[in-house]
Amino acid sequence: MAQPGQSAAAALASSLESVLRSRGSANRVFEILELLQVDEEDVVLCAIRTCSRLFGALLERGELFVGQLPEEETPLADNYNAEDKYKIWMRHRYNSCVNCLVELMGHESFQVKELSLATLMKFVELEGKYPLVKAEWKGSFSFPRELLKLVVENLIPCEEDSSLLISRFQEYLEYDDIRYFVMKAVAENIGQVMQKTKEVPLPVYQQNVFSLISSISMPSQENEVVNFMVKQANQEEWKVSKLKEHKRAFERMWLGFLKHKLPTGLYKKVLVILHDSILPHLNEPTLMIDFLTVAYDIGGAISLLALNGLFVLIHQHNLEYPDFYKKLYSLLDPSIYHVKYRARFFHLADLFLSSSHLPAYLVAAFIKRLSRLALTAPPQALLMVIPFICNLFRRHPACKVLVHKPGGPEGNRGTERGLAALYQVFTKGPIHQLGKVKSHLRIPSWVLLTQIQSSLCVPCLSPGFHSPHGPSIKAPQSSPASCCSLPVSSSQAFPPSRGTEFLLGPSLMLGLPICSSALEAGSPV
């Protein structure tokens, strides 16, 4: 006994053959369209494949009406012959098929969604080759924008996560013309949807939009815009073949998306890719200034991530951000050592603080804050912050007064007091003289990671440094300049008798026992 799916497949094959063989059997197209709306998944899949073959063949044969389609309920004028009336009728059936496929993009089965999408994109390609719209003039360009717009609208629904279907759609974004008109359609759709909701955030919709637009890979040079799904007679004159037009559409799409309020999680995702996937492809990257400055003022992880984009604008587009370093300083709180973006933050902070034109009091503020926070930092974070602080000392020798020198000369007192006064202006709070900061720059008595030991560069200590909390440490014989230039990951050996246990007394300060000879060497860690 034949299964329902097998009998439906046989019936569909028979209907397809009849419709293509004789126009007298054209009414059997309804049998095919009806099966697009049944509940059985196998039958729906078979009906979609049949529609693909049927209307694909009709498009290639030119048996669909071309031009402004009359309303189906409107009686046709006498100036239409029998051929035109058949094509008009079949064109209406084609439109019904397209509407059914668009609805099936929201089907509960992913196989149905995927096949519906593939069939619609096949129709996009065929409509491009065999246009259903009359050319306005000889040599004019045509593209099935309306059909592609329907596809895009159903790729980004408001109530269902469609990220999996969007990942399937990414292969079509490799075509330059598809990518261009998708960007135009997304920008238009965002304006319509957000206007209807009166700017109320739509997390699911906005996530779908982000999944689609973040998968768009833009060309970087004019000669890369050569891959088109729909070929045109005068391809080089088509505006879609111009990189500038692609950038303009890309810019309008992203600005339209970012001008609306975003959920926090999505805010972070945008900022992660903004500096390398969005800004380089905008005609005017400075249009992102407002978005980035607002994000930078929010605080927390969002501010950390906004640093990347701000760095690009400051470095490449001469952005002037008022009180930038005060805001950067305010980001230094205990959580900075625990967020997953800390490596990126320290990399950018190192770039921002690398200029030799920065005032000493400003750099001193960062040294003190980082050193104080390092007292409670996890060991993994110390691997970054210790070399970071050491490099600040080497780049800004005026800050060496921060080094605790119990038996040092008294000549530095005036410098320390002056630096402390400037520092107080920057931090807006009470503070002791910068020379008396040993309570902020000490590390815990027990340090167990060999990598941290090597980054402290203990060989630069005196040959027999004595710790009040343990026996003296015998430093290996090496020159200060050579051992101080060891990278953090160096495997500099310590006395094997001590193993990985390394005692440091409270007078050994964070990053500072590199001693005077190490700081004088000047080579960055």
Q: Any idea what DSSP says for residue 96?
A: H
More confident residue, 442 or 332: 332
The pLDDT, as a whole number, for residue 432 is 38
Mean pLDDT over the full length of the chain: 78
The 10 Å Cβ neighbour count of residue 431 is 16
Contacts of 451 (CB under 8 A, 6+ apart): 383, 488, 489
pLDDT (0 to 100) of residue 441: 47
Compute the average pLDDT of residues 197-213: 89
Measured CA distances, 341 to 30, 297, 306 (Å): 58, 17, 11
Place of tokens 């037009």: 245
pLDDT (tens digit per residue) in 481-519: 333 333 333 333 333 333 222 222 222 233 333 333 333
pLDDT at 155 over 60: yes
For residue 308, which phi and psi values (nearest 5 degrees)?
A: -60, -50
Q: Report the pLDDT value the prediction gives residue 502, as an integer from 0 to 100.
A: 26
Task: Give the mean model confidence (pLDDT) for residues 320-342.
Answer: 85
Contact 419, 377 (CB under 8 A): no
Q: What are phi and psi of 464, to 5 degrees?
A: -135, 65
pLDDT score recorded for residue 4: 58
> Tell me: the pLDDT tens digits for 166-202?
999 999 999 999 999 999 999 999 999 988 877 677 8
Res. 342: pLDDT tops 90:
no
Could you give the CA distance from residue 446 to residue 523 in angstroms, rounded to a whole number?
27
Residues pairing with 509 in the sheet: 442
Q: For residue 327, is pLDDT > 60?
A: yes
What percent of the chain is modeled with pLDDT above 90?
38
Vertex 97: Cα angle to 95 and 101 (nearest 5) = 115
Residues near 21 by beta carbon (within 8 Å), at least 6 away in sequence: none
CA dihedral 237, 239, 240, 246 (to 10 degrees): 140
Q: Take residue 275 and report the two structure tokens written for it.
A: 């500096």
Task: Give the model's pLDDT for residue 5.
Answer: 63
**pTM attached to this predicted model:** 0.75
Q: Given this model, what pLDDT does residue 488 score?
A: 34
Mean pLDDT of 314-326: 83
- Residues 282, 251: contact at Cβ < 8 Å? yes
For residue 73, the 8-state DSSP code is T
For residue 225, the number of C-alpha atoms closer than 13 Å in the C-beta half-sphere is 23
As a residue count, the chain comes to 525
Q: Which of 140, 158, 148, 156 is nearest to 180 (CA)?
A: 148
Q: What is the pLDDT of residues 422-466, one digit of tens each?
A: 445 445 543 333 444 433 444 443 444 455 555 554 333 333 333
Q: What is the DSSP letter of 277?
A: I
When mean pLDDT is compared across 61-65, 71-75, 145-149, 238-242, the lowest value belongs to: 71-75
Query: What is the number of other CB atoms lying within 10 angstroms of the CB of residue 415?
Result: 15
pLDDT at 49: 96
Q: Cα(311)–Cα(353) distance, rounded to whole angstroms?
A: 12
Q: For residue 496, is it left (φ>0), alpha (ψ between -120 and 50) or beta? A: alpha
- pLDDT value for 439: 37
Question: Phi/psi zone of residue 204: left (φ > 0), alpha (ψ -120 to 50 degrees), beta?
Answer: alpha
Q: How far apart are CA 57 and CA 138, in angstroms?
A: 26
pLDDT band at 398 (very low <50, low <70, confident <90, very high): confident
- What does DSSP say about strands 502-503 and 446-447: parallel, antiparallel, or unpaired? antiparallel
The CA radius of gyration of the chain, in Å to the nearest whole number, is: 34
Across residues 388-404, what is the average pLDDT?
Answer: 84
Beta-sheet pairing, 464-465 with 446-447? unpaired
Q: Cα–Cα distance between 478 and 484 in angstroms, integer?
A: 10
pLDDT of residue 460: 35
How many whole angstroms separate alpha carbon 97 and alpha carbon 417?
82
pLDDT at position 496 = 32
Between 436 and 251, name the one with better pLDDT.
251
Report the DSSP beta bridge partners of residue 464: 474
Which residues are CB-neighbours of 6 under 8 A, at least 6 positions away?
none
With contact defined as beta carbons under 8 Å apart, do 442 and 509 qualify? yes
Contact 205, 158 (CB under 8 A): yes
Mean pLDDT of 287-305: 87
Tokens 């200590």: give the residue. Answer: 461
Q: With pLDDT > 70 as the criterion, what percentage of the chain qualifies?
A: 75
Question: What three-state secondary structure class fits 137?
Answer: coil
DSSP characters over 327-366: HHHHT-SGGGGTSTTHHHHHHHHHHHT--TTS-HHHHHHH
CA atoms in the 13 A half-sphere facing the CB of 312: 22
**pLDDT(313) > 70:** yes
